[in-house]
Structure 1
Amino acid sequence: MSSYYGDRSRDVPSWESLEAPDEDDIVDTSEYAYASRDHILFCIDASQSMQTPFPDTTNDDGELVRGKTALHQALEAVVKIQRSKVITGPADSVGVLLWNIDPGNTPSSSQASYKPGTQVYQNLRTINAEEIKRIVKLMERAKDQYDAQGKDEDVKTVQPEVFSETFPPCDKSEEMNIADVLVTCNFLFRDAGTNLAGNKRVFLVTDNDYPPGSKMNREPARTVYGDLSSYGISINTFFVDRPDHKFNPTLYWNDILQREPDENAPEEDAPPDADGLAELAEVMNDLVIRHAPKRVQFSIPLKFGGRDGEIEIGISGYAMVSTQGKGQPKLVRMRGQTVEEVQIKSEYTSAETGAVLKDTEIGQAFQFGNESTVKNVIEPNWWESAEHQVEQQMVADEVLRLDKERRQKEDEGEDVDVSETGGTQRKEKLQPGDEKPKVVARTRLQFTNDEVAEFKSMGLKPQIKILGFQSPDHLAFEENLKHSYFIYPNENEYTGSTRTFAAMLKSCIKFNKHALALSRFRTNTQPEFCVLIPQEESFTKDGGQDQPPGFHVIILPFRDDIRRPPKNMNENLLASDRQAKLMSNIVKRLRIKAGHYRSEAYPNPALAYHYAQLQSLAFEEDFDPSSAAGQDLDKTFPKWWGMHKAAGEFMSEFNKSIEEDDRAVESLKGGTKRTTKAAAEEEIDEADLKDLRGLWKLDKLDKAKVQEIRDYAKFHKISLNGKTKKGDMVGILSWYFQNEQTDDTGGKKKSKK
């Protein structure tokens, strides 16, 4: 990664150009709202028309398929999303409200503060097994009654009785005003509490495009819808087409929901008998995939501008790729009426006394050298102990005594033996306390937690500090070694972060620049250099968001993180133009219909099997491993029959082109051991085997490979006498070369004996 130097500075836009007025100065920040939890309230119309079965159909095998009611299909979608959210969103909330119910048969518990004609079958609360088992048992009873009607075409299809008993429809004249229905939805979100942080939605399912009050009394419905919007509650509508009537949202619903007249207009080419609940089923499949638990990896400030980052905003980072595992099981106490989770508490005790140590009595130490030389780091160093000081004093006193005796002998004219005084001289006379301290190599170096944190962070707080901006030309693909993060603005710490973040993103996209930054994501991580690559928001054909706006944070490697690629990657053979064309045809035939691969749509088969077991235990269902394995749990299994059907001819032609390529044959001979029978019987060219004779002339025949020696012997019909050791085979081949001469034309002639 390089920055701008020399002539490259002319490509850098000035601050004046960045501050210049722009036509699109107003930045839309609505798409930056992000929710980690999902709260869904199903608001289902239970009128008589919703409980009328659809016409019967026949499948591909000619068997009769009885039509289900719209209410039946909507409740199946409720069960599907709740069972899936046990795994993908255990902290999400789901509620079920039915309206146009007979007020006389509505349970009294659901008429507390809600409008008459509504039935709260499931309060808006966090997903739990007991609530799900209740609706699952209801659907199982409905399925048994539905299947009991058999396959006889003469028997008229009727709705299961359990639906008529549980949700009795009201008369046509008693159907509810939509304003009262929306008020009840508002009450349910109110009663759920103030901790519903996240995405709050109402899934409204109905087949009535002109409900009561549509002609004169629309203002109350508009007012209540405005109240829901002010509380952050959105309404997703799923309009059901009757067999004899196409739903027309322009008659009423577009008006009270403040939608454009043609937003949900039916397509002209849509068949009149199209299944109106197909959209709901599709949304349920997408909901299970998209709304998996999203966890914030870090929430730190982002600094840029000026020398030390004068502009500071808040951001949150999300992991782009994460490993999905089974999760750690929780320790529980299996006593009493309920299973209680165990509270884990860690304590450290002294090895000598067994007493519980306080946090202040525990430190961190790093081993350095031989640990056995020092018994305990808490004990004082022997060189600094009182015992060592006494010994040092005794040595000093002895040195003074010997020095005094030497001076006396010198005054008397006697010869002095230097060894008696330890080689001391008058100038080097030692006094107590004058000895130099000795350096001791301790085996454990002790630091406080603050010191260890300072070593790792180098004094940098958790933050992302932008150092500058540069062109994408300075990035290399091989420098992306780690999983990247995706950052969004966070308004919790700094007000106005969303607008500033959107403005910086817009400028980077406009000038085709990315940011070079120094980052530290968490307190337990080390500082790293990274680049912030902008991503512009994109939409699907249906108008939904495909890619969100934000920055990808890619961590740059250090010098020792980069390794040279293996030789096999650099020495591969390049395909010819014909081979590339054939492979191009194969790729075109085997493309994914969606246009891009969605990894979240292919769950881990091992995890799917694991969660199927957990669900059967939680819902008190029978689990048959053989039947579960037969289900479509492994969606990663290649559909080879379809692949061969679509591109089988191109595959055969491509394989044939590889077999006919001489380079592949030469590469196989030179670098691959042929252990198969087909490879051993392959025709060998004599010219390729003459190198063994050259090695023999250089007295380096033992450098040849065993397989090469066997191939040469087989071609020249030289018997190795069953020898398997390389030395024995080299001896036989050397004797053969000594008794043979080769002329210039390559012919063979026996030498004279």
Structure 2
Amino acid sequence: MPSYDDWNKFDEDEDEELQDTSYFDRKHDVILFAIDCSQSMLALRGDPNYENTKTSRLLTALDAAVQIQKRKVVVGPYDSVGIMLYNTTRRNESGPGSEIKKGTYVYQPLSVINAPKILDLNQLIDEARDNPDLLSEDYPSTDKHIPVGDLFTSCNWVLRDGAPKSATKRVFLITDDDDPFAGLHNPRLITSARTTLIDLLQAGVSVEPFFISADYEPFNQHKFWTSILVSDSSGDDDADFLPAEISISRIDDLLEQMRFHEVPKRALFNIPFELATGLVIGIKGYNLITEQKKGSYRYFVDLGDKMEVVESRTTHVDEEREAEVNKSDVLFGMTLGATAEDEDIQEHGFGTRSVRAGRRVFYTTEEVRSLRTLDLEPGIKLLGFKDRSELVFEDNVRHSLFIFPDEDTYAGSRRTFRALLSSMVKKGKIGLVRALTRRNASPSFCALLPQEEGESEGWAEPSGFHLITLPFADDIRAAPIEEGFRAGKELIDAAKSFISKLALRNSSYPPDSYPNPALAFHYAQLEATAFREEFDPASFGDHTLPKNDTIRKKAGPLIKEWMKLLNDDKSADAVIVQSGSKRKPDVSVSEAEVRSRYETDSLMQLRVDQMKDFLKSRSLALSGKKVELAERISEWLDEHP
């Protein structure tokens, strides 16, 4: 009999996270780099990272492909990556890519991430840095730009032959030509390109462009590409889905842009949204924030000549018979009470049964599921509306989810969704809904907070609803109120003076610039192991560590002045006794008294707690015996006469 803790995982393998199971099955990511090989991409220019070295935009793009694949080794080892060059006269004579359109060349066929192929590409990049003309000699550009329709057709064929059907397939398009057919206003080229792109989208492939701007002129996507690249969401009235500006000129900028597209966006759930009786639309839910963790490890078995992954499974065994029990025969119950024998259970014939008093109560899997879900199917039901002021900050007890309309499930979902959102924003209302996002979850009451499309601090915010789980009464606890001393105006002004000096530029915090040091260190070790490289822990840089030299240079004198004012403030030495304590408020010794005892060699007459309070107020260590604490205080007094 499983314990009560096991009730939450009684049928994990049967748990249907999403109604759309095909979307849930897309566990692997497939990326095909489509890199332009035109003359402008092959043109040599100074390398900003290496002195006296020439580089090209094609080399920058290949370097970005290497960095993405190295990253995938540790965060997505089962993902696939391929590289296709276009606008080049080189052809695949045989093997993968031999049947694709003229002017395209498959340099790296689609395959699961592996170290040898990455090392080969890395070797090509090193050779190209030593011989800047290598890329133009091996991959010469064509006389004219190939039709974009042929490019998308070749991408479709490569992905069709090399990508799993259930994978998330994407094309990273990299080019610096904002008008490939300058002077040729041929609508047939645009129509052909849009038609083949729609074929790509219908095959489950999305195209994500990365445009490289020229040194003297930004990339103007409106010359050609906005008329070609359309949204992959059917029914979207906003056909222009490209950001206002996408311009990349250096490898660091290109990688920074690709980090946002490194992991494909996957919906947590795809469920119906019932607005009223008979009025239902489709929605998808996304998690806007989550904790990044180390990848899960696997067990392997050594077969001598190779290592095989161990396939684990859970079985239930009857302790008395020592025999395996079918999962369908497992019941759930609590450990209190005597064991219920078969004759103690009385069937009533209408779906219920009773157990005699003093005997344990057992539940079947279906009964546990019914108790948890209240026999509800996954979905969201609108219950009503409230004023925006009814939603307070304390209601955010969990991370909210973001829901967006799904036109593929119910036609007209997008338009109905937008009408509801705009009406709620106009009237200043929030929605109150009952939500069940997956089959084995418990229903909850949630608030729908509308968000209009806009831009905040450089970030584009899409239009949609934040699904905020509302707390129950026993989920909210009153915060303990403790008495404290307020700093004076002089002390506050002194703190403002150095805080303003240390404020971030543009008043924004870019999280991608400060990776988790523990994860970064872990990934660096895995990457070195995968590529058989030596890992030097001393070379690892933690970007989260404060730059003490810069802080001292910018605000050192101001911080010292603030510390001086703080030490002179008598309220800083006061200790507030917690409520309920029988002891009277104990005011710790001041610096003048400690210094007086130090000068008269009577420092040891202070109590240990008084010494620790003094050391703590000076940000000094509190460990050690009384003699060590006295020595530490003496050293501080000597340094601060």
**How has the CA–CA distance of structure 1 residues 125 and 140 changed in structure 2, closer, same or farther, with 3 Å as cutoff?**
same
2:150 is the counterpart of 1:183: yes
Which residue is 1:655 aligned to? 563
**How has the CA–CA distance of structure 1 residues 486 and 538 changed in structure 2, closer, same or farther, with 3 Å as cutoff?**
same
Contact 2:453 2:462 in 1 (8 A): yes
Task: For residue 338 of structure 1, report the CA deviation from its aligned partner.
Answer: 6.1
Task: For residue 591 of structure 1, report the CA deviation from its aligned partner.
Answer: 2.6
Task: For residue 674 of structure 1, report the CA deviation from its aligned partner.
Answer: 4.9
Which residue is 1:494 aligned to? 410
The residue matched to 1:532 in structure 2 has which SS? strand
Higher-Rg structure is 1
Alpha-carbon distance in 2 for matches of 1:565, 1:313: 41
Alpha-carbon distance in 1 for matches of 2:115, 2:506: 35
Contact 1:300 1:316 in 2 (8 A): yes
**TM-score (structure 2 length as normaliser):** 0.72
Task: For residue 539 of structure 1, report the CA deviation from its aligned partner.
Answer: 2.8
- Show CA shifts across 1:102-140 (max 9, x none): 44x865446622344432102355645454343133234
Alpha-carbon distance in 1 for matches of 2:325, 2:229: 66
Task: For residue 92 of structure 1, report the CA deviation from its aligned partner.
Answer: 5.7
The residue matched to 2:268 in structure 1 has which SS? strand
Task: For residue 366 of structure 1, report the CA deviation from its aligned partner.
Answer: 1.2
Task: For residue 246 of structure 1, report the CA deviation from its aligned partner.
Answer: 5.8
2:256 is the counterpart of 1:285: yes
2:444 is the counterpart of 1:476: no
Superposition pairs for residues 75-86 of structure 1, below 5 Å? 75-86=62-73
Which residue is 2:478 aligned to? 564
Superposition pairs for residues 403-482 of structure 1, below 5 Å? 441-482=357-398
Task: For residue 45 of structure 1, report the CA deviation from its aligned partner.
Answer: 3.7
Contact 1:40 1:203 in 2 (8 A): no
Contact 1:98 1:119 in 2 (8 A): yes
The residue matched to 2:334 in structure 1 has which SS? strand
Alpha-carbon distance in 2 for matches of 1:293, 1:257: 22
Which residue is 2:336 aligned to? 368
Which residue is 2:5 aligned to? none
Task: For residue 706 of structure 1, report the CA deviation from its aligned partner.
Answer: 9.5
- Show CA shifts across 1:489-508 (max 9, x none): 23454333222222211111
**How has the CA–CA distance of structure 1 residues 216 and 314 changed in structure 2, closer, same or farther, with 3 Å as cutoff?**
closer
Identity of aligned residues (%): 30
The residue matched to 1:178 in structure 2 has which SS? coil
Which residue is 2:209 aligned to? 236
Alpha-carbon distance in 2 for matches of 1:646, 1:311: 61
Alpha-carbon distance in 1 for matches of 2:544, 2:92: 47
Contact 2:248 2:254 in 1 (8 A): no
Alpha-carbon distance in 1 for matches of 2:244, 2:325: 72
Letter in 1 for 2:447: V
Letter in 2 for 1:238: F
Which of 336, 341, 345 is residue 378 of structure 1 equivalent to? 341
- Show CA shifts across 1:216-272 (max 9, x none): 584553233222442335463534647xx8688699756975999xx99999xxxxx
Task: For residue 77 of structure 1, report the CA deviation from its aligned partner.
Answer: 1.5
2:598 is the counterpart of 1:631: no
Contact 1:79 1:136 in 2 (8 A): yes
Which residue is 1:329 aligned to? 297
Which residue is 1:121 aligned to? 107
Letter in 1 for 2:173: F
2:532 is the counterpart of 1:621: yes
Task: For residue 281 of structure 1, report the CA deviation from its aligned partner.
Answer: 3.9
Task: For residue 628 of structure 1, report the CA deviation from its aligned partner.
Answer: 4.1
Contact 1:79 1:135 in 2 (8 A): yes
Letter in 1 for 2:165: N
Which of 205, 208, 211 is residue 175 of structure 2 equivalent to? 205
Letter in 2 for 1:499: R
Worse-matched range after superposition: 233-242 or 360-369: 233-242
Which residue is 1:67 aligned to? 54
2:551 is the counterpart of 1:551: no
Which residue is 2:8 aligned to? none
Which of 151, 160, 165 is residue 195 of structure 1 equivalent to? 165
Alpha-carbon distance in 2 for matches of 1:252, 1:319: 36
Task: For residue 310 of structure 1, report the CA deviation from its aligned partner.
Answer: 4.5
Alpha-carbon distance in 1 for matches of 2:286, 2:67: 28
- Show CA shifts across 1:501-554 (max 9, x none): 222111111111111223333333333222121122223688xx6222222222
**How has the CA–CA distance of structure 1 residues 572 and 291 changed in structure 2, closer, same or farther, with 3 Å as cutoff?**
farther
Task: For residue 183 of structure 1, report the CA deviation from its aligned partner.
Answer: 0.4
2:424 is the counterpart of 1:516: no
Alpha-carbon distance in 2 for matches of 1:617, 1:50: 34
Superposition pairs for residues 573-612 of structure 1, below 5 Å? 573-612=485-524
Letter in 2 for 1:482: R
Alpha-carbon distance in 1 for matches of 2:383, 2:132: 68
Task: For residue 76 of structure 1, report the CA deviation from its aligned partner.
Answer: 0.9
Letter in 2 for 1:205: T
Contact 2:288 2:402 in 1 (8 A): yes
**How has the CA–CA distance of structure 1 residues 265 and 557 changed in structure 2, closer, same or farther, with 3 Å as cutoff?**
closer
**How has the CA–CA distance of structure 1 residues 470 and 364 changed in structure 2, closer, same or farther, with 3 Å as cutoff?**
same
Unaligned runs of 5+ in 1: 1-34, 147-157, 268-275, 385-438, 685-704, 712-723, 725-753
Alpha-carbon distance in 2 for matches of 1:284, 1:367: 56
The residue matched to 2:434 in structure 1 has which SS? strand
Which residue is 2:287 aligned to? 319
Contact 1:519 1:527 in 2 (8 A): yes
2:303 is the counterpart of 1:354: no
Q: Give the aligned length.
A: 546
Letter in 1 for 2:480: P
Pairwise CA RMSD of aligned residues? 4.3
The residue matched to 2:99 in structure 1 has which SS? coil
**How has the CA–CA distance of structure 1 residues 668 and 554 changed in structure 2, closer, same or farther, with 3 Å as cutoff?**
same
Letter in 2 for 1:183: D
Which residue is 2:121 aligned to? 135
Superposition pairs for residues 631-710 of structure 1, below 5 Å? 631-632=540-541, 634-667=542-575, 674=588, 681=594
**How has the CA–CA distance of structure 1 residues 329 and 214 changed in structure 2, closer, same or farther, with 3 Å as cutoff?**
same
Task: For residue 291 of structure 1, report the CA deviation from its aligned partner.
Answer: 3.6
Which residue is 1:534 aligned to? 450
2:312 is the counterpart of 1:341: no
Alpha-carbon distance in 1 for matches of 2:64, 2:425: 41
Alpha-carbon distance in 2 for matches of 1:485, 1:235: 25
Alpha-carbon distance in 1 for matches of 2:398, 2:196: 43
Which residue is 2:271 aligned to? 300
Contact 1:182 1:225 in 2 (8 A): yes
Alpha-carbon distance in 2 for matches of 1:639, 1:512: 45
Contact 1:225 1:256 in 2 (8 A): no
Letter in 2 for 1:236: P
The residue matched to 1:444 in structure 2 has which SS? coil
Contact 2:54 2:132 in 1 (8 A): no
Which of 77, 82, 103 is residue 95 of structure 1 equivalent to? 82
**How has the CA–CA distance of structure 1 residues 600 and 368 changed in structure 2, closer, same or farther, with 3 Å as cutoff?**
farther
Letter in 1 for 2:525: Q
The residue matched to 2:361 in structure 1 has which SS? strand
Which residue is 1:53 aligned to? 44
**How has the CA–CA distance of structure 1 residues 257 and 294 changed in structure 2, closer, same or farther, with 3 Å as cutoff?**
closer
Which of 32, 35, 46 is residue 44 of structure 1 equivalent to? 35
**How has the CA–CA distance of structure 1 residues 169 and 338 changed in structure 2, closer, same or farther, with 3 Å as cutoff?**
farther
Contact 1:56 1:67 in 2 (8 A): yes
